[in-house]
Amino acid sequence: MNDPAQPAHVHTGRATDEELARLRAKIGQRVQIKEPPWLTEVTRDAIRHWAWAIGDRNPLHLDEPYAKASALGGLVAPPSMLYAFSRLSIGYRGGLPGVHSMFAGSHWRWTAHARLGDAISPEVVFTGLDELPSRFAGRMFKQISSIDWRTADGRSIARSESWGMRMERTEAKKKGKYDAIESRRYSREEIAELGERMRAETPRGATPLWWDEVDVGASVPEIVRGPYTPTVAVAFEQAWGGLFIWAHGYWYDYLKRHPAAAVYNAYGVPEPPEAVHWDTALARSVGVPEAYDYGPERISWLSVMLTNWIGDAGFLEELYCEIRRFNLVGDTTFCRGRVTSKEPLPDGRGRVRLEVQAVDHRGATTAQGHAAVLLPRRGG
């Protein structure tokens, strides 16, 4: 998102020393924007829409009588739904007008469930701007923010760190990292098989997963998502709200404040940068062969895999995930996890650490990271 205080000049898509110095001067500052968040309160509708968007069938989110009868005592939000409470939840990426921006990952640490009726008030602080070597673009920078997620009454829900990559757009297109990628075509039989796999996903529910019975090296039950389509992108937008999704006069009001946000389509009409998620022509203009997904989607899918596995008595404590490659229209994603260590805790629970990854149908790892979950211990 571009800084409304940016100087008015022609945007070349280059990270100039002047712009870099101006942006670095903001490190350590709280970030606030004029645009309101998509969500301000955890409602039944918001929970349901988020669960639908990420394919989460957990009754703790969707079945109110079930949730009330559970140990949690009522509906709770999927952990990743906090993304929808701040347009900066995927990292503040202001400054550097015209320099392409891509979400690159998040590190979540949850302390409590977001519950039905909670009003969420996140605070975002810009914490870093690091230049990195790049094989894909010209100059590339990692722009980092930290977010503190609290309810209106001060209850802590989570802390997270999100980061994005800022890349010189024209150089990214020239280097053609994805030129050899071909889109997948599916038979009706293949689609039917994928549909059956998704319908067969079963959250553990009320049956506890005991820490004592989890083995190091064990695999988490895999889930599948896709094939990715623009419709899937729209479903996620409906739940998340996006960064630049405005229409009619609201869009042109936004462009007046942030002119560098415009990406002109084949008809000469300004589109938001997010249009690369449903418009292949715009995606190709930044060096990607097809429209592609939102990184927070894959992080959310991995969280579903974990909460399905741990059941109602478990708690997703941490999820660190780096987005490593694009997930393109036509791609199918397989979410996987493996237990790497476990430790007992003094409160009668146990912690299990895992490595997690999202792998596409070509076998390429598109996202990877690690996680920690809390589980009940027998006799704990």
pLDDT tens sequence across 236-252? 999 999 888 889 999 99
pLDDT greater than 50 at residue 5 = no
Cα separations (Å) of 270 from 275, 281, 322, 325? 10, 13, 30, 27
Tell me the range of 35-39, 53-57, 134-138, 283-287 where mean pLDDT is highest. Answer: 53-57
pLDDT digits (tens, 9 = 90+) for 320-352: 999 999 999 999 999 999 999 999 999 999 999
DSSP code, position 37: P
| Count: domains in the chain | 1
> Does residue 87 form part of some domain?
yes
pLDDT digits (tens, 9 = 90+) for 93-118: 888 887 888 899 999 999 999 999 99
Token pair for 38: 């998509």
pLDDT at 291: 87
> Does residue 11 form part of some domain?
no
What residue numbers bound the domain in which 98 lies?
Answer: 17-376
> Does residue 12 form part of some domain?
no
Residue 1: band (very low, low, confident or very high) from pLDDT cuts 50, 70, 90: very low
Across 135-160, average pLDDT: 89
Among 23-32, 223-232, 238-247, where is mean pLDDT lowest? 238-247
Across 129-147, average pLDDT: 84
For residue 340, give every residue at least 6 positions away whose Cβ sits within 8 Å of its Cβ, in sequence order, or none.
216, 353, 354, 355, 370
pLDDT at 178: 61
- Pick the more confident residue, 54 or 184: 54
pLDDT at 305: 98
Among 56-70, 249-263, 293-307, where is mean pLDDT lowest? 249-263
pLDDT greater than 70 at residue 265 = yes
pLDDT digits (tens, 9 = 90+) for 296-321: 999 999 999 999 999 999 999 999 99
Yes or no: say if 37 and 84 are a contact pair by the CB < 8 Å rule.
yes
pLDDT at 380: 74
Yes or no: say if 321 and 106 are a contact pair by the CB < 8 Å rule.
yes
Among 57-61, 104-108, 151-155, where is mean pLDDT lowest? 151-155
For residue 145, give every residue at least 6 positions away whose Cβ sits within 8 Å of its Cβ, in sequence order, or none.
31, 88, 91, 92, 124, 125, 126, 127, 161, 162, 163
Across 265-277, average pLDDT: 88
Residue 149: count of CB within 10 angstroms of its CB: 24
Across 163-187, average pLDDT: 72
pLDDT at 169: 60
pLDDT at 136: 58
> Does residue 8 form part of some domain?
no
> Does residue 151 form part of some domain?
yes
Residue 313, CB half-sphere, CA atoms under 13 Å: how many? 16
Across 364-370, average pLDDT: 97
> Does residue 1 form part of some domain?
no
pLDDT at 175: 53
For residue 145, give the amino acid letter.
Answer: S
Kindly tell me the sign of the dihedral angle through the C-alpha atoms of 165, 170, 172, 173: positive
pLDDT at 170: 55
pLDDT at 95: 85
Q: Where are the beta strands (DSSP E) in the chain?
A: 30-31, 100-110, 123-132, 140-150, 156-167, 219-225, 263-264, 270-271, 315-323, 333-344, 349-360, 365-376
Across 205-216, average pLDDT: 97
> Does residue 144 form part of some domain?
yes
Residue 271, CB half-sphere, CA atoms under 13 Å: how many? 18
Across 263-292, average pLDDT: 86
For residue 221, give every residue at least 6 positions away whose Cβ sits within 8 Å of its Cβ, in sequence order, or none.
305, 308, 309
Yes or no: say if 223 and 333 are a contact pair by the CB < 8 Å rule.
no
Yes or no: say if 167 and 138 are a contact pair by the CB < 8 Å rule.
yes
For residue 99, give every residue at least 6 positions away whose Cβ sits within 8 Å of its Cβ, in sequence order, or none.
13, 14, 15, 166, 167, 168, 169
pLDDT greater than 60 at residue 3 = no
pLDDT at 192: 96
CATH number for position 185: 3.10.129.10
Q: What backbone phi and psi angles, to 5 degrees, belong to 271?
A: -115, 160
Q: How far apart are CA 165 and CA 159, in angstroms?
A: 21
pLDDT at 4: 35
- Pick the more confident residue, 242 or 199: 199
pLDDT at 99: 82
User: Mean pLDDT of all residues in the chain?
Assistant: 90
> Does residue 212 form part of some domain?
yes
Cα separations (Å) of 146 from 36, 94, 100, 138, 202? 19, 14, 21, 26, 34
